[in-house]
């Protein structure tokens, strides 16, 4: 025989009469959950910090680890930046390759721009990566150096 569970949200005080009524109906209390406004809660509220693009929370929940899919996107972005591609061209190329933003939407010039600070942060890692060092160099001619 399966047990039934019933969760009741209190809108007022917990009254002894109500507890007796529920017990008479065959219910027994399993837990009581208490809530209060924590002292200093107003000043303790901090906005959450987003996980940097290219990393994810590790399975042990104690550290961050590289997110391979996002690092591939950063690698492609860096390759296009080196080729002096515009934000629009970078977004179009990411979309053409089937890459999506974290929210699952297509890349736009603005979403590419928003990832640029992170791209700057990880550029030393990208430039020292073996796949970057051994990549075929396909630098395009740009007006300022042609």
**What are the residue boundaries of the structural domains of the chain, listed by start?**
55-140
Average pLDDT over the chain, rounded to an integer: 83
Nearest to 97 by CA among 107, 88, 87: 107
Q: Which long-range contacts (CB under 8 A, 24 or more apart) does 141-145 make?
A: 142/83, 142/84
More confident residue, 3 or 78: 78
- What's the pLDDT score for residue 146? 47
Taking only the tens place, the pLDDT of each residue in 3-53 is 887 777 777 788 888 889 888 998 888 888 778 888 776 665 667 788 899
Quote the percentage of the chain above a pLDDT of 70. Answer: 83
pTM of the complete model beyond 0.95? no
pLDDT over threshold 60, residue 141: no
* Terminal-residue alpha carbon distance, the chain: 82
Among the ranges given (32-36, 68-72, 100-104), the one the predictor scored with the smallest mean pLDDT: 32-36
Average of per-residue pLDDT across 106-127: 91
- What's the pLDDT score for residue 44? 58
- What's the pLDDT score for residue 60? 84
C-alpha angle 6/8/14, rounded to 5°?
Answer: 130
């Amino acid at each position: 025989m399966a047990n039934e569970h019933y969760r009741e949200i209190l809108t007022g005080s917990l009254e002894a009469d109500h507890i007796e009524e529920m017990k008479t109906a065959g219910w027994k209390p399993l837990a009581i959950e208490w809530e209060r406004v924590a002292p200093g809660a107003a000043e303790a509220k901090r906005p959450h910090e987003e996980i940097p693009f290219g990393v994810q929370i590790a399975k042990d929940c104690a550290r961050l680890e590289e997110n391979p899919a996002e690092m591939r996107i950063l690698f492609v972005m860096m390759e296009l930046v080196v080729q002096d591609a515009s934000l629009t061209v970078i977004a179009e190329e990411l979309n053409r390759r089937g890459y999506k933003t974290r929210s699952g939407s297509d890349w736009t010039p603005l979403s590419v721009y928003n990832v640029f600070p992170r791209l700057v942060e990880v550029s030393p890692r990208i430039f020292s990566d073996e796949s970057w060092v051994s990549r075929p160099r396909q630098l395009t001619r740009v007006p300022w150096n042609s």
